[in-house]
Structure 1
Amino acid sequence: MVMKHTCNAFGLLSASLLIAVSPLFSTTVEAKDWKSVTIATEGSYEPWNLTRSDGQLDGFEPQLIRNICARIKIECKFVTQDFDGLIPGLRAGKFDVLMDALSITPERQKVIAFSRPYASTPAAFVSVDSKILPKPVGQGALVKLTGDNKTDKQTVDELRKYLKGKTIGIQSGTIYTGFVYDNFKDIATIRAYKTAPEHDLDLVAGRIDVAFDDATYFVSALAKADNKSLGFTGPKIGGSIWGPGEGLGFRTADSDLKAKFDAGIAAALADGTVKSLSEKWFKVDVAP
């Protein structure tokens, strides 16, 4: 209010003093030492993150983030949150960091900030009948998409030919959700689920024909006895369509916190920690 009231000398002097000291005052109020942070994850997206029988979080990301937190000397506390509530909860101040195989996309970057990527993985279709999509050329063949409709048209049209009339399961709110709706909603039925294991259950039960998700998630899911009837169908799909990779999510105002975790991720990539943990949990190096 002082700066708006400039009709007398006292007001002018007060405004001038406030302007002079405001940078120092602002720094004092807003600076955070970040001795501890709350990290939100789904806790059910194995092997990225999972909840053990004793209630403790485990998996590639929890083990990696504990390593990073120790490096940057920050106490990290964990909470679990449904995937579609992660970004709204972060922006509402319920937690400080997101960690859930969160792909870095331009749309998400409009509302939150991302760390440098710590992983980069392809997606894949899985079904009971592995013949729904043509067998890929080469072991685990990868096709790369750019996200540009003209460039990707030939590959997408080939997928559409085989998926016409099918029911596709997808976890809601992921980077893969938009891809499936944008390219197949006019020729297939799409069913969205809150969690990835839910589309696996419906796949085994025959309520959907295929599911689409991260290939590393499916490697773990297919190893479970309940999913022994499932298998990959068609090629794995990677490329720039999924962005630069998976990163941690932050509020845009918390650039100092992001910088700390960026430094920790860089160190974990440089000394082989990311490679070692990804080979442990995914059986392949997913370092970007």
Structure 2
Amino acid sequence: MQSKYSKLAKGMIGAAIGTALFGGAAQAKDVTIALEGGYAPWNMTLPGGKLGGFEPELAANLCARAQLKCNLVAQDWDGMIPGLQAGKFDVLMDAISITPEREKIIAFSKPYASTPATFAVTDTKILPKAGPTAAALKLDTDAKSNAPAVQALRTALKGKTIGIQSGTVYTRFINENFKDVASIRVYKTSPERDLDLSNGRIDASFDDVTYYAANADKKEAVPTVAAGPKIGGPIWGPGEGLAFRKQDADLKAKFDAAITAAIADGTVKKLSEKWFKTDVTP
């Protein structure tokens, strides 16, 4: 997932997430967690304004384990890190990939998910539909060393228009590897990009495989399909994690312990299979 940055939060979802399950009389601390509320199935805004999806359900579990009283806030992707640093919220949870660049300004929990990415098209003559058992293309962090592996994709997408959401680790990958052979169109949100793909205004999009898997049954005038190889490896970092201000080491430690427990007892596996139809346990 997939970094995102300051506008006012769209709305506070006063979801005080249970603390009585773990800790009896222990005093809970109020913690505000920001999610985009528009990156299904990681997180989404349900009718009535409540947040749902993989991350809100996992957040409820983690907060209960850590004896924290958590409120979920919907916040635009591009306002998240400034909002965190300004004290508008305490934690970011929005499929944020852990990268060295981001670790310079914010702290991350241990990863709670790890997922590859892929392209999507409406015309499989551009890129063939990916087979379910096809091996993932493992890429390193260095663009030059990855060049031979992505050459076939560069050839297939030469002269095409690729849509990508702004401010993500995928944006950099697409720019570094395809900007000289294809047109790159940047979108504020993934749904806006998807609409242009379905309507033929772009030729391909690039995003997390879980995002496409969750939207595979979505009714569209022109259906889109995941295509080309799944791309994973060190290029995306160790996975997706919660983000904190660097000074909040105690809060990070509580969530690290909760994530460790949720992975160990199969909670992450259960929730990822529910929402993604695949296990994204790191």
TM-score (norm 1): 0.86
Q: Percent identical across equivalent pairs?
A: 63
Partner of 1:226: helix, strand, or coil?
coil
In 1, Cα distance between the equivalents of 2:149 and 2:44?
33
Pair 53,264 (structure 1): closer, same or farther in 2 beyond 3 Å: same
Mapped partners of 1:135, 1:169: distance in 2: 18
Q: How much does 1:141 deviate?
A: 3.4
Q: Distance in 2 between matches of 1:214 and 1:241?
A: 13
Q: Which moved more, 1:84-93 or 1:198-207?
A: 84-93
Distance 1:44 1:136, change over 3 A: closer
Q: Which secondary structure state, in structure 2, belongs to the residue aligned with residue 219 of structure 1?
A: helix
Q: Is the 8 A contact 2:121 2:127 kept in 1?
A: no
Q: CA deviation at 1:111?
A: 0.4
Contact 2:161 2:203 in 1 (8 A): yes
Q: Residue 200 of structure 1: which of 194, 197, 202 is its match?
A: 194
Cα separation, 1, equivalents of 2:119 and 2:280:
19
Do residues 50 (structure 1) and 44 (structure 2) align?
A: yes
**Structure 1, unaligned stretches of length 5 or more?**
1-32
Counterpart residue type for residue 154 of structure 1: P
Answer yes or no: is 1:61 the counterpart of 2:59: no
Helix, strand or coil at the partner of 1:264: helix
Structure-1 separation of matches of 2:101 and 2:81: 12
Query: Which residue of 2 is the match for residue 210 of structure 1?
Result: 204
Moved more, 139-148 or 96-105: 139-148
| 2:78 aligned residue | 84
Q: Which has the larger radius of gyration?
A: 1
For these two proteins, the number of residue pairs brought into alignment is 256
Distance 1:227 1:219, change over 3 A: farther
Alignment of 1:105-144 (within 5 A): 105-134=99-128, 136=130, 139-144=133-138
Correspondence for 2:155: 161
What RMSD in Å do the two structures reach over aligned CA positions? Answer: 1.5
Q: What do the CA deviations read for 1:183-236 (whole angstroms, capped 9, x no partner)?
A: 111111111111111110000010000000001001112221126611111111
Higher helix proportion: 1
| Structure 2: tracts of 5 or more residues without a match | 1-26
Q: What is the rounded CA distance, in whole Å, between the counterparts of 1:81 and 1:137 in structure 2?
A: 36
Q: In the alignment, is the contact (CA less than 8 A) between 1:34 and 1:257 conserved in 2? A: no
